[in-house]
Structure 1
Amino acid sequence: MMLKSTKDDEVEGPSNNPSELQQESLYTLYMIGGRPSISGPAVYFQKFNFDEEKWTVIPDKMPEARTEFAVATHENAIWIIGGNDSNLHVTNTVFVYNPKAGACERWRREKPMNLARYSLCAAILEGKLYVVGGTGQEGVSAQVEVWNGLTNTWEFRKSMNVERSDLSIGVLERRMYAVGGYGKDRSRFVSVEYYCSIHDKWVFVRPLSPENVRYGVGVVGNVLYSVGKTHFGCLRRSLSGLHSWSPGPTLPIPIKGFDVVADCTFLYLVGGVPDVLAHPTHWKFNTVNRKWYKLPSPLGCPLYDAKAALISNNTERHCCRL
């Protein structure tokens, strides 16, 4: 049923396009954490089955409660990194969930990060897991660490040009982009910089407009989408290396506190709280036909600050919340 339409973008119910359904059946969408209110604890862990169009609660609970952690999909498992514990103490712990392992082996611990921090972000660049920014005991951080799977250790890499907490990360054309975030004085950034692993350095690029920076980044094809409360911004890199932002689509409704994850066609908006509580908060955006589709709501009440991840037999990709 058509709910709303504009000149460029449309909002519809669940897709019945066979090609879209076939593509999505290769994935399972996971929602980790999430709070009924901004001050509540993270207690939820659910997965969405695209074939059945429904959410189910995963009985495998996290080993310890965490809030404001980072999530990445690496080696076909979900990595939950850092964050605050139930007493609001900042941690450097790393938990890994492998949904395809045996019932007693799905959760494991990996070696903790060198630095404890929350409101950090994680991404996969050239097959390696990076954690970036966040806030630790000494305040907002610009530090970058990478996981070395051969030695099972975390190694430092070049720090960002500025300290960022509550940022977003997206990988576009072998570069890792840090978008937005808060600085030491809690001011909101619109600046953007990328990391080149070959030269181990960060480079500033063109900033984006304020309405397009806040809650998440997703990369589809050669476009990085930065998603704000009401609008997208689209970053492209030309063959000559120049970066340019262009306006993207408008969100179906204003939403805050969501996460963004992407596959090769869709952006998924998971979690969050709408300005009007009766409105749905879970959506997918088809970057080809520029249509919005509603997703069924997870079990329970609206979830602020949830994290999302996609698991597939042959693809893994994740983009973090701002």
Structure 2
Amino acid sequence: MASALLRLLAAPTILLPAALLLSPLAGQWERRAPMGVSRSEVAAAALGGRLYVVGGFGSAGAVVEEYDPGADAWRRRADLPAPVHHPAAAALGGRLYVIGGYRDGWTPIADVFAYDPTADRWERRASLSTPRGALAAAVLQERIYVVGGIAPDGGSRTVEVYDPKQDRWERRAP
């Protein structure tokens, strides 16, 4: 499964719960079990051999689903503490982090939550210094890097780095 890419299909006007698997070696897409909840503007990250899909537009904004590729099955997990769409997600140290996004329509937020899949529980972590939605996150050298997005005053070039051991964000040069 490491050589495959799972893609979740959704569009703002037509929500599909579909999931497709791409095998780069075969160059083919294959249908997988659909998500339980149709939604768009989600974040996704892989953790412990599972795929987690979080948030989304409308009433699905707090929904969290976990995909098991071996069983080709989805299951509902503990909801996010607050609904969000256009967040970023990253997995680090056995935890899934959901970062920023929009709430109450298109209000950028600075919230950060960490999910423990064993306990099926969320906890609040240190907030971003700049509220942002539609941002990107990546893990590098045991840190989470968050870049770009849309802040309250428009497009953002802000780069922040999160240290989970210190539960602290640090701004970096763009």
TM-score, with length taken from structure 2: 0.91
**Superposed displacement of residue 26, structure 1:** 4.5
Q: CA, structure 1 residues 100+150, in 2 after alignment: closer, same or farther (shift >3 Å)?
A: closer
Matched, 1:174 2:147: no
The reply on whether 1:92 has 2:62 as its aligned counterpart is yes
Provide the residue aligned with 1:68 in structure 2. Answer: 41
Q: What are structure 2's unaligned runs of at least 5 residues?
A: none
2:52 counterpart (79, 83, 92): 79
SS at match of 2:4: strand
Answer whether contact 1:160 1:202 (CA < 8 A) is retained.
yes
Aligned residues: 172
Q: 2:166 aligns with which of 199, 204, 210?
A: 199
- Report the CA distance between 1:90 and its aligned residue: 5.4
Alignment of 1:110-149 (within 5 A): 110-137=77-104, 139-149=107-117
* Structure showing greater relative contact order (alpha-carbon pairs closer than 8 Å, 6 or more residues apart): 1
Map of 1:47 onto structure 2: 21
TM-score (norm 1): 0.51
Q: Unpaired runs of 5+ in structure 1?
A: 1-24, 208-322
% same residue: 27
- Rg comparison, structure with higher value: 1
Counterpart Cα distance in 2 of 1:77 and 1:94:
12
Greater CA drift, 43-52 or 123-132: 43-52
**Corresponding residue number in structure 2 for 1:28:** 4
Q: CA 1:29/1:70 → structure 2, altered by over 3 Å: closer, same or farther?
A: same
Deviations 1:41-81 (A, max 9, x none): 242421112332211222x1111111101101111111110
CA displacement 1:146-201 (0-9 Å, x = unmatched) = 0123432100000010101000001111111110000124x100110101112111
Conservation of the 8 A alpha-carbon contact between 2:10 and 2:38: no
Counterpart selection for 1:156 from 124, 133, 138: 124
Q: CA RMSD in A?
A: 1.8
Supply the distance in 2 between the matched residues of 1:202 and 1:70 (Cα, whole angstroms). Answer: 20
